[in-house]
Structure 1
Amino acid sequence: MLKKGEYLIRQGNVPTHVCFLTQGIMRGVFSDVNGKEITDCLVFRCGSPAMPASDINQPAPIDVQALTECEIVRIAVPEVNRMLRVYPALSELYRQLIVESSKTHWELKIAIYQYTAMERYLWFQQAYPGLSDKISNKYIASFLNMTPVTLSRLKQELKRQGGA
């Protein structure tokens, strides 16, 4: 069990366990050159990996933080490595999880660089259903590369239009 605000892993530390979310919402986060926090990813679906990177044997490139109270399932890294060697089906599942993670990160990158602020927020509502009511605007705005003020204005505009 992780409490809201608690870190699962900190940047630079090598993971000791592979973790899967069973309940709650987590984020991957790092700081830019000015010390501003950037929310890199959000994990909210039961069974999703709550990991800082796809290479479980390397130091974490980001922090992983609980945005709500979270429950996770943990498997020790040496045991995961052993099972990946022994069970081909598990290796295929690992490959599929990496592909899905890459796809999700590319969708975010495209949204950030090719969509207007309103389009990014509408994309977020579709890709991350219900999260806008469960986590702070600060984290959503950071994730969508906009200020919390901009996000608040977008939400107000959607309410005026009857779409939020």
Structure 2
Amino acid sequence: MEALIHYLLQFGNLNTIQIELIKNKLVFKEIKKDEYFQEAGKIPREIIFLTEGIMRICYYNNKGDEITKYFIEENHFLADINSYNQEIPSTEYIQAITDCSYYVLSKSAMRELSMTIIEWDSIVAKITAKGLADKVNKISPMMSEDAKARYLSFLEKFPGLAHRIPLSYLASYLGITPSSLSRIRRNIR
């Protein structure tokens, strides 16, 4: 819980009473590896702060292939923010790729915090902007690189993730086949 509060304090000031209010709105949950936190077609009603583990955001393309968009690791917020804000069904899945622990803020808890804490909406807006920028920075640079460069770039940006993520998910994220990724990894060692 302290990691979540520390994260929030990077984006705005909160006094002790406000921090206690936030803590009282948090619900701790766990999910097992391979389970889905969110499924496409459902309207998201929660925002989570991942405290342990890795989740991936994925979707199915028009050919039925599963595509990994990106990964979220510990100490980050996670939500399909577009579907959450507009209250429309999500087009993405959020899957635990390791056992995960996280704190949940329900939509009603978010509303109450917004009405009670003056700076809350500003903090949420800053976190959302950072999350969107991080997402673009994870995806955009890799589009113009070849497969080996994409993998090396991934290793540089996320050194602790590569060995915690199944090969098939990492290959999907990089836009290559698992066998190509295996070959690249062999040639790098």
TM-score higher than 0.5 here? yes
| Displacement of 1:35 | 0.7
Q: Give, in angstroms, the shift of residue 147 of structure 1.
A: 1.1
Instruction: Give the one of 140, 145, 168 matched to 1:115.
Output: 145
| Structure 1 alignment gaps of length 5 or more | 160-164
Letter in 2 for 1:7: Y
Which is greater in Rg?
A: 2
Distance of 2:60 and 2:120 partners within structure 1: 33
- 1:86: Cα distance to partner? 3.5
Aligned partner of 2:26 in structure 1 is none
| Conserved? CA contact 2:46–2:79, under 8 Å | no
Give the paired residue count: 158
Partner of 2:94: 64
Structure 1 residue 55: Cα displacement: 5.0
Alignment RMSD (CA, Å): 1.6
Tell me the residue number matched to 1:45: 74
1:33 aligns with 2:36: no
Percent of matched pairs sharing the same residue: 26
How far apart, CA to CA, are the structure 1 residues paired with 2:124 and 2:157?
A: 22
Verify the 8 A CA contact 1:85 1:91 in the aligned structure 2.
no
Question: Secondary structure of 1:40's partner?
Answer: strand
Which residue pairs with 1:94 in the alignment?
A: 124
2:177 to 147, 152, 164: 147
Q: Equivalents in 2 of 1:85, 1:115: separation in Å?
A: 46
Deviates more, 1:91-100 or 1:24-33: 91-100
Task: Say which SS state the counterpart of residue 125 (structure 1) adopts.
Answer: helix
Match of 2:24 in 1: none
